[in-house]
């Protein structure tokens, strides 16, 4: 009986860490986590023509490691665009503070208490379509873990932009990783997630 209890506790500690955890460190915790992300597949700087975007790879690691659900911010506005015209269009959108439309609806937002928000850096912050999401869904009151993939800008302005969008959210320190590293450096993502103690 005692042995069974020890085994169960060990198993719980191994399998139920992070989001959706029910028993961690002898305390009942029941976070429900969501990864909201945008990612652009196709021709990009440093990585060539990619089938799966860099940020999506990180988003998938996060879900794999934590069990978090996902909402992908999808627009077909940039489909098939070469890198240089895309940078020009993105710069124009940022300059005009545009709000490109995205597809789909995020259901049951109420059930999530922890939200990972991730995207590439485009011209110093997230792509404008992510701001359309921010305008659409109120994440005040949530705990937010921002992340970016980039090629030199790190977190850029995303921390202040998220705080501005959600002044009453608990915005935790952000995580950034080079886009060209995501396929070979999963350990960096693992280290970040494990250090969060969620």
Ligand X SMILES: Cc1cc2nc3c(=O)[nH]c(=O)nc-3n(C[C@H](O)[C@H](O)[C@H](O)COP(=O)(O)O)c2cc1C
According to the binding rule CB under 6 A, does residue 121 interact with ligand X?
yes
Residue with tokens 């890198």: 83
Q: Rounded to an integer, what distance in angstroms lies between the CA atom of residue 74 and that of residue 60? A: 15
CB atoms within 10 A of CB 96: 9
Cβ contact 144:115 at 8 Å: yes
Of the candidate residues 61, 71, 116, 122, the single one contacting ligand X (CB under 6 A)? 122
According to the binding rule CB under 6 A, does residue 179 interact with ligand X?
yes
Of the candidate residues 55, 66, 128, 143, the single one contacting ligand X (CB under 6 A)? 55
Site string for ligand X, 70-109 (x = CB under 6 A): ----------------xx--x-------------------
Taking the C-alpha atoms of 176, 145, 159 and 106 in order, what is their torsion angle to the nearest 10 degrees? 110
According to the binding rule CB under 6 A, does residue 157 interact with ligand X?
no
Q: Rounded to an integer, what distance in angstroms lies between the CA atom of residue 5 and that of residue 33? A: 28
Query: How many residues sit in the footprint of ligand X (CB under 6 A)?
Result: 22
* Contacts to ligand X by CB under 6 A: 39-40, 44-45, 53-56, 86-87, 90, 120-124, 149-153, 179
């Amino acid at each position: 009986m005692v042995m069974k209890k020890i085994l169960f506790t060990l198993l719980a500690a191994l399998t139920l860490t992070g989001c959706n955890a029910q028993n961690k460190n002898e305390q009942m915790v029941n976070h429900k986590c969501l990864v909201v992300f945008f990612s652009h597949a196709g021709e990009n700087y440093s990585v060539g023509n990619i089938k799966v975007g860099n940020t999506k790879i990180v988003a998938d690691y996060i879900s794999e490691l934590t069990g978090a659900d996902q909402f992908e911010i999808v627009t077909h506005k940039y489909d098939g665009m070469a890198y240089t015209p895309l940078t020009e269009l993105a710069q124009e959108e940022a300059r005009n503070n545009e709000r490109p439309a995205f597809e789909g609806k995020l259901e049951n937002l109420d059930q999530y208490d922890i939200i990972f928000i991730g995207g590439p850096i485009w011209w110093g912050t997230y792509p404008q379509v992510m701001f359309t999401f921010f305008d659409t869904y109120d994440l005040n009151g949530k705990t937010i873990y921002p992340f970016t993939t980039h090629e030199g800008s790190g977190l850029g302005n995303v921390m202040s932009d998220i705080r501005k969008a959600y002044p009453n959210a608990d915005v935790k320190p952000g995580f950034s990783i080079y886009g060209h590293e995501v396929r070979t450096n999963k350990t960096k993502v693992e280290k970040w997630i494990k250090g969060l103690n969620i």
